[in-house]
């Protein structure tokens, strides 16, 4: 057992005591030291054991681990600018309408300040992936009517469409080139919800209904990853090796804020009562996912935390407050141990 593993044992013990069926966590340092922890079962209904090969449904971590790197890469190549408008890349956006979507910028979309609605039930419309993307781009009701801070899945669907148009490839193909994350995973995966709409317990298919309707591949959700795969990506963010350092640092500057959240480009930035924990440093940043996943990076202290769970298994109901509390408790246990 490594020295780091031993040092973090008290923090990992908190996870061992939780009720969530499957939990996997890691802490990685700038020097490449890594401690990992796993407990529970991949499927509570079948008793399937959790292994290092199991992939978790990352939900909204897709935004920062798949879509954000592709957008930042296009920025660093000069193929996009922060003030590039949606209509400059996707001229069909808001076609023949007064919708303001076509005038919204990459900066506004990345910082959730474009005024797009948080969500709409695309999965209720029987259509192929291309048609659903066009529905987001051309349906007037997607835009609230004015720019402003509102966390939006739809904004990252639009960013995914921008990336795919400029690269000429789907996001799952692009992700496969950059990391070990997958969409529509073929290997073992952790179960999520017993979904009354689809009539089955979801395992190996995305939990998010809209991502599922889009053939499992969207800019806002759909990615799966093992603990090792996610930790590898987080380590690259920490060490600023994923992309040119200047564009990675740009992404963690503040671009938007409301009463509760400060946002960079894609990332949620430190706030005193944020999910990074009460002991997080002001330079910290991260993101969460609905299924019970999160990453948190401490660039000033030189380490990053990954926490993957399936808190929605077998149901999403009654577990939201539990994962919020567990995340903060775990982070606050890690921070002082890493300071030693």
pLDDT digits (tens, 9 = 90+) for 241-264: 999 999 999 999 999 998 789 999
Same-domain check for residues 45 and 84: no
Same-domain check for residues 164 and 224: no
What separation in angstroms does the CA of 159 have from each of 62, 123, 183, 202?
12, 19, 17, 27
Q: Count structural domains, the chain.
A: 2
Query: What average pLDDT is seen over the chain?
Result: 96
**Mean pLDDT throughout 294-306?**
98
**Mean pLDDT throughout 220-237?**
98
Position 143 scores a pLDDT of 83
Same-domain check for residues 99 and 145: yes
Partners of residue 114 on adjacent β-strands: 148
Same-domain check for residues 124 and 139: yes
Q: What is the CATH classification number for the domain harbouring 12?
A: 3.40.710.10
Same-domain check for residues 11 and 44: yes
Same-domain check for residues 232 and 318: yes
Same-domain check for residues 188 and 293: yes
Position 100 scores a pLDDT of 86
Same-domain check for residues 209 and 283: yes
Query: Is pLDDT at 101 greater than 80 in this prediction?
Result: yes
pLDDT digits (tens, 9 = 90+) for 35-74: 999 999 999 999 999 999 999 999 999 999 999 999 999 9
**Mean pLDDT throughout 69-94?**
97
Phi, psi of 194 (to 5 degrees): -80, 100
Query: Is pLDDT at 161 greater than 80 in this prediction?
Result: yes
Which of 173, 202, 223 finishes a domain? 173
Same-domain check for residues 279 and 263: yes
Position 198 scores a pLDDT of 95
Query: DSSP H helical segments within 50-208, as ranges?
Result: 61-62, 68-76, 86-89, 106-110, 129-138, 153-167, 171-178
Q: What is the CATH classification number for the domain harbouring 139?
A: 1.20.58
Which of 173, 203, 220 finishes a domain? 173
Same-domain check for residues 168 and 206: no
Is residue 312 classed as helix, strand or coil in its secondary structure? Answer: coil
C-alpha 64/C-alpha 297 separation (Å) is 12
Same-domain check for residues 119 and 155: yes
The answer to pTM > 0.85 is: yes
Which of 128, 144, 173 finishes a domain? 173
Q: Which domain holds residue 250?
A: 3-60+180-339
Query: DSSP H helical segments within 168-262, as ranges?
Result: 171-178, 209-213, 227-239, 245-251
Query: Is pLDDT at 31 greater than 80 in this prediction?
Result: yes
Residues 6+ positions from 6 with CB-CB distance below 8 Å: none
Same-domain check for residues 158 and 196: no
């Amino acid at each position: 057992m490594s020295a780091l593993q031993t040092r973090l044992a008290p923090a990992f013990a908190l996870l061992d005591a939780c009720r969530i069926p499957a939990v996997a966590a890691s802490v990685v340092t700038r020097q490449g030291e890594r401690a990992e922890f796993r407990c529970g079962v991949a499927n509570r209904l079948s008793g399937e054991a959790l292994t290092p090969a199991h992939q978790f449904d990352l939900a909204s971590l897709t935004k920062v681990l798949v879509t954000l790197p592709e957008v930042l890469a296009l920025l660093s190549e000069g193929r996009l600018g922060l003030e590039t408008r949606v209509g400059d890349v996707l001229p069909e956006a808001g076609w023949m309408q007064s919708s303001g979507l076509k005038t919204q910028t990459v900066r506004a979309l990345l910082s959730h300040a474009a005024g797009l609605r948080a969500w709409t039930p695309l999965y209720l419309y029987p259509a192929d992936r291309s048609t659903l993307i066009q529905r987001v781009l051309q349906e007037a009701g997607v835009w609230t009517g004015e720019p402003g801070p509102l966390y939006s899945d739809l904004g990252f669907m639009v960013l995914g469409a921008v990336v795919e148009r400029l690269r000429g490839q789907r996001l799952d193909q692009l992700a496969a080139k950059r990391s070990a994350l997958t969409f529509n995973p073929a290997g073992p995966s952790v179960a999520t919800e017993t979904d009354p709409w689809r009539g089955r317990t979801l395992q190996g298919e995305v939990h998010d209904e809209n991502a599922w309707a889009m053939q499992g591949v969207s800019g806002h959700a759909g990615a799966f990853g093992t603990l090792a795969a996610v930790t590898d990506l987080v380590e690259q963010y920490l060490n600023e090796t994923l992309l040119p350092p200047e564009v990675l640092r740009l992404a963690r500057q503040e671009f938007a804020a409301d009463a509760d959240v400060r946002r960079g480009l894609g990332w949620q930035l430190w706030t005193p009562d944020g999910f990074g924990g009460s002991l997080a440093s002001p330079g910290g940043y991260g993101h969460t996912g609905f299924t019970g996943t999160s990453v948190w990076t401490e660039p000033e202290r030189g380490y990053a935390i990954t926490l993957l769970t399936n808190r929605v298994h077998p149901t999403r109901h009654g577990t939201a407050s539990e994962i919020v509390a567990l995340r903060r408790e775990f982070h606050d246990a890690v921070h002082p141990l890493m300071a030693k």
